[in-house]
Amino acid sequence: MKRFGIWALSLVFVFGLLFGGCAATQQTNMTAEDLVKEAKANVCEITVAEAKEMLDKGDCLFLDCREPKEFKMGHVPGATNLPRGLIEFKIAKAVPDKAENMVVYCKTGGRSCLSSCTLCRMGYKNVKSMSGGWLAWEKAGYPIE
Protein backbone atom coordinates (compact mmCIF):
# COMPACT_ATOMS: atom_id res chain seq x y z
CA MET A 1 0.00 0.00 0.00
CA LYS A 2 2.85 2.37 0.82
CA ARG A 3 4.39 1.80 -2.63
CA PHE A 4 1.08 2.61 -4.29
CA GLY A 5 0.90 5.92 -2.42
CA ILE A 6 4.41 6.92 -3.50
CA TRP A 7 3.67 5.84 -7.09
CA ALA A 8 0.41 7.79 -7.16
CA LEU A 9 2.09 10.90 -5.74
CA SER A 10 4.85 10.65 -8.33
CA LEU A 11 2.28 10.32 -11.10
CA VAL A 12 0.41 13.41 -9.89
CA PHE A 13 3.68 15.36 -9.78
CA VAL A 14 4.66 14.36 -13.35
CA PHE A 15 1.21 15.25 -14.72
CA GLY A 16 1.37 18.56 -12.89
CA LEU A 17 4.66 19.35 -14.59
CA LEU A 18 3.42 18.29 -18.01
CA PHE A 19 -0.03 19.84 -17.99
CA GLY A 20 0.04 22.63 -15.44
CA GLY A 21 2.28 25.27 -14.03
CA CYS A 22 3.59 28.47 -15.46
CA ALA A 23 4.78 27.28 -18.88
CA ALA A 24 1.51 25.56 -19.75
CA THR A 25 -0.61 28.67 -19.26
CA GLN A 26 1.59 31.30 -20.86
CA GLN A 27 3.32 31.90 -24.18
CA THR A 28 6.63 30.07 -24.46
CA ASN A 29 9.76 30.56 -26.55
CA MET A 30 9.88 34.28 -25.84
CA THR A 31 13.14 36.19 -26.18
CA ALA A 32 14.37 38.82 -23.73
CA GLU A 33 13.26 41.45 -26.24
CA ASP A 34 9.77 39.92 -26.36
CA LEU A 35 9.52 40.05 -22.56
CA VAL A 36 10.61 43.70 -22.50
CA LYS A 37 8.15 44.60 -25.26
CA GLU A 38 5.35 42.93 -23.31
CA ALA A 39 6.39 44.76 -20.12
CA LYS A 40 6.51 48.13 -21.92
CA ALA A 41 2.89 47.64 -22.93
CA ASN A 42 1.94 47.29 -19.26
CA VAL A 43 4.00 49.96 -17.47
CA CYS A 44 4.18 53.73 -17.43
CA GLU A 45 7.35 54.91 -19.17
CA ILE A 46 8.66 58.43 -18.76
CA THR A 47 11.43 60.32 -20.51
CA VAL A 48 14.66 61.30 -18.78
CA ALA A 49 13.46 64.94 -18.91
CA GLU A 50 10.31 63.97 -17.00
CA ALA A 51 12.42 61.96 -14.55
CA LYS A 52 14.70 64.97 -14.02
CA GLU A 53 11.65 67.13 -13.23
CA MET A 54 10.57 64.57 -10.65
CA LEU A 55 14.07 64.53 -9.15
CA ASP A 56 14.04 68.33 -8.92
CA LYS A 57 10.65 68.29 -7.16
CA GLY A 58 11.98 65.69 -4.72
CA ASP A 59 8.69 63.87 -4.48
CA CYS A 60 9.79 60.42 -5.56
CA LEU A 61 12.23 57.61 -4.97
CA PHE A 62 14.69 56.70 -7.71
CA LEU A 63 15.26 52.97 -7.80
CA ASP A 64 18.34 51.77 -9.70
CA CYS A 65 17.83 48.12 -10.66
CA ARG A 66 21.33 47.63 -12.08
CA GLU A 67 23.95 45.48 -10.38
CA PRO A 68 25.90 47.00 -7.45
CA LYS A 69 29.07 47.26 -9.56
CA GLU A 70 27.20 49.37 -12.15
CA PHE A 71 25.61 51.49 -9.42
CA LYS A 72 29.01 52.27 -7.85
CA MET A 73 30.26 53.57 -11.20
CA GLY A 74 27.60 56.31 -11.13
CA HIS A 75 23.90 56.78 -10.44
CA VAL A 76 21.10 59.32 -10.16
CA PRO A 77 21.64 61.42 -7.00
CA GLY A 78 19.93 59.85 -4.00
CA ALA A 79 18.96 56.67 -5.87
CA THR A 80 18.50 53.39 -4.03
CA ASN A 81 20.18 50.34 -5.56
CA LEU A 82 17.99 47.25 -5.69
CA PRO A 83 19.15 44.83 -8.41
CA ARG A 84 16.48 43.33 -10.64
CA GLY A 85 17.42 39.81 -9.56
CA LEU A 86 16.53 40.59 -5.95
CA ILE A 87 13.73 43.10 -6.32
CA GLU A 88 10.88 40.75 -5.44
CA PHE A 89 12.64 39.68 -2.25
CA LYS A 90 13.88 43.05 -1.00
CA ILE A 91 11.34 45.63 -2.14
CA ALA A 92 8.99 45.27 0.86
CA LYS A 93 11.75 46.21 3.29
CA ALA A 94 13.25 48.92 1.05
CA VAL A 95 9.88 50.46 0.11
CA PRO A 96 7.12 49.42 2.53
CA ASP A 97 4.64 52.04 1.24
CA LYS A 98 3.01 50.65 -1.91
CA ALA A 99 1.79 54.16 -2.78
CA GLU A 100 5.37 55.53 -2.95
CA ASN A 101 6.17 57.45 -6.14
CA MET A 102 9.03 55.58 -7.83
CA VAL A 103 11.14 56.01 -10.93
CA VAL A 104 12.91 52.79 -11.84
CA TYR A 105 15.91 52.80 -14.15
CA CYS A 106 18.69 50.56 -15.41
CA LYS A 107 21.35 50.95 -18.10
CA THR A 108 19.12 51.21 -21.19
CA GLY A 109 15.54 50.66 -20.01
CA GLY A 110 14.97 46.92 -20.42
CA ARG A 111 15.55 45.76 -16.86
CA SER A 112 13.68 48.76 -15.49
CA CYS A 113 10.62 47.90 -17.59
CA LEU A 114 10.68 44.32 -16.34
CA SER A 115 11.22 45.49 -12.76
CA SER A 116 8.43 48.08 -13.03
CA CYS A 117 6.07 45.44 -14.35
CA THR A 118 6.95 43.17 -11.41
CA LEU A 119 6.44 45.98 -8.90
CA CYS A 120 3.03 46.79 -10.36
CA ARG A 121 2.06 43.12 -10.16
CA MET A 122 3.14 43.17 -6.51
CA GLY A 123 0.72 46.03 -5.80
CA TYR A 124 2.92 49.14 -6.08
CA LYS A 125 0.73 51.89 -7.51
CA ASN A 126 3.01 54.74 -8.65
CA VAL A 127 5.83 53.09 -10.56
CA LYS A 128 7.39 54.62 -13.65
CA SER A 129 10.16 53.23 -15.81
CA MET A 130 12.72 55.71 -17.15
CA SER A 131 12.99 55.22 -20.90
CA GLY A 132 16.57 55.04 -22.15
CA GLY A 133 17.89 54.38 -18.65
CA TRP A 134 21.20 55.51 -17.21
CA LEU A 135 22.79 56.00 -20.65
CA ALA A 136 20.07 58.50 -21.63
CA TRP A 137 20.43 60.25 -18.26
CA GLU A 138 24.19 60.62 -18.75
CA LYS A 139 23.78 61.74 -22.35
CA ALA A 140 21.38 64.48 -21.25
CA GLY A 141 24.08 65.81 -18.93
CA TYR A 142 21.97 65.46 -15.79
CA PRO A 143 23.63 65.26 -12.35
CA ILE A 144 25.23 62.04 -11.20
CA GLU A 145 26.72 60.68 -7.98
Evaluate whether 111 touches 132 at the Cβ level (below 8 Å): no
**Distance (Å, whole) CA 110 – CA 129:** 9
On whether the CB atoms of residues 76 and 105 are closer than 8 A, the answer is yes
The pLDDT score that the predictor gives to residue 48 is 96
Instruction: Dump pLDDT digits (tens) for 44-97.
Output: 899 999 999 999 999 899 999 999 999 999 999 999 999 999 999 999 999 999
> CA 118, CA 138: separation in Å to the nearest integer?
26
Ranges of each domain in the chain:
31-139
DSSP annotation string for 21-50: HHHHHS--S--HHHHHHHHHTTSEEE-HHH
* Architecture in CATH of 31-139: 3-Layer(aba) Sandwich (3.40)
Average pLDDT in the chain? 83
